[in-house]
Amino acid sequence: MAVHQIGEGGLVMYWVTFGLMAFSALAFAVMTFTRPLNKRSHGYITLAIVTIAAIAYYAMAASGGKALVSNPDGNLRDIYYARYIDWFFTTPLLLLDIILLTGIPIGVTLWIVLADVAMIMLGLFGALSTNSYRWGYYGVSCAFFFVVLWGLFFPGAKGARARGGQVPGLYFGLAGYLALLWFGYPIVWGLAEGSDYISVTAEAASYAGLDIAAKVVFGWAVMLSHPLIARNQTDGSLLINSTNDPFVASTTHIPERQGGIFGGLMGKKRGAGTPLATNEGVPRKAAPTAATTTAGNPATAAEV
């Protein structure tokens, strides 16, 4: 019975990846907190992604976040469950980073994110499974991956096109890059946690490479294309400007907007809306509802 554990090279990869994630976290924090309050939503999301990944990589580099699991072949292999905890939180955030550009119905955003969470959890269960049933988890996890892809490229793409302007280009660029990268994970899983075919060091290096591309590179792309995203984002202003108190809220001078996943989660200000203020350059596909409600009431619109 062999015991497969990580080698020096794998730990080096963990430290390098930790360094990149931590550096990006510090940089993204500075970039985000120096932005106007109503232009931070994508910064917050991207900052959370690299921060969580930095902690996970520190844990793995510090020889934590793993457990010896026996394989059907009778060998013991170190399974790094820490990366699944990382992915549980970061993959939904990565999806939000792009889905929030589409303005698709929240019900759809919800099932895409839940399919993603199921995909990750099944990958973890399969990795911790000591028998061949692990492949059952794997198969269903892959099925959920296709549900996520379907959500990104059918309803998601439809929403992006509906918003028009610079959104489709931005959305397809980010979503396509992410989707392509994500195909790498199930391949590594099959060779590493799944079949115990490649070494734990090779596994560590492969996942690290994928995470750097999917979080650091993707993160910098999102942060650097910030002006473009901020101009086209659907929720940024809501996330930041809605407050616990109308008195304070009304002093921030941000035009009211409609809900959205953040709007809903965060509460938002009511009344007359001039969404153009937070959507410059986005061609109106229809009159915003909020505006409609006050259209018959010039006095109100005038006051805001």
One of 49, 53, 93, 99 touching its own copies (CB under 8 A): 99
Which residue number, 32 or 91, has a Cβ lying nearer to its own copies? 32
Residues 8-37 that bind its own copies (CB under 8 A): 37
One of 23, 36, 63, 73 touching its own copies (CB under 8 A): 63
Residues 68-87 that bind its own copies (CB under 8 A): none
Residue 261 has which token pair? 């996943």
Decide if residue 297 touches its own copies (CB under 8 A): yes
Q: For residue 178, which of 133, 123, 219 has the smallest C-alpha distance?
A: 219
Question: In angstroms, what is the minimal distance from the CB of 94 to its own copies?
Answer: 16
Residues 174-193 that bind its own copies (CB under 8 A): none
One of 12, 16, 27, 48 touching its own copies (CB under 8 A): 48
Number of residues that bind its own copies (CB under 8 A): 99
Choose the binding region for its own copies from 185-193, 206-214, 220-228, 287-295 (rule: CB under 8 A): 287-295
Longest CA–CA span in the chain (Å) reads: 81
Sign, Cα dihedral of 101, 105, 110, 112: negative
Which residue number, 136 or 190, has a Cβ lying nearer to its own copies? 136
Question: In angstroms, what is the minimal distance from the CB of 136 to its own copies?
Answer: 6
Q: For residue 196, which of 85, 80, 86, 70 has the smallest C-alpha distance?
A: 70
DSSP β-bridge partners for residue 3 = 76
Residues 211-250 that bind its own copies (CB under 8 A): 234-235, 238-250
Which residue number, 216 or 282, has a Cβ lying nearer to its own copies? 282
Compute, in degrees rounded to 10, the torsion defined by CA atoms 243, 247, 250, 251: -100
One of 104, 112, 214, 216 touching its own copies (CB under 8 A): 104
Residue 38 has which token pair? 């109503």
Neighbours of 111 (CB within 10 A): 14
Residue pair 151/98 in contact by the 8 Å Cβ criterion: no
> Residue 78: which H helix or E strand, with range?
strand 76-79
One of 49, 59, 148, 205 touching its own copies (CB under 8 A): 59
CA distance 300 to 40: 29
One of 110, 180, 187, 224 touching its own copies (CB under 8 A): 110
Which residue number, 137 or 206, has a Cβ lying nearer to its own copies? 137
Question: In angstroms, what is the minimal distance from the CB of 264 to its own copies?
Answer: 3
Which residue number, 74 or 296, has a Cβ lying nearer to its own copies? 296
Q: For residue 276, which of 294, 292, 259, 257 has the smallest C-alpha distance?
A: 257
Residues 121-160 that bind its own copies (CB under 8 A): 121-122, 125, 128-131, 133, 136-137, 140, 159
DSSP code at position 190: I
Write the CA distances from 13 to 3, 7, 59, 209, 261, integer angstroms. 21, 10, 13, 9, 36
Which residue number, 18 or 185, has a Cβ lying nearer to its own copies? 18
Which residue number, 34 or 244, has a Cβ lying nearer to its own copies? 244
Residue pair 127/69 in contact by the 8 Å Cβ criterion: yes
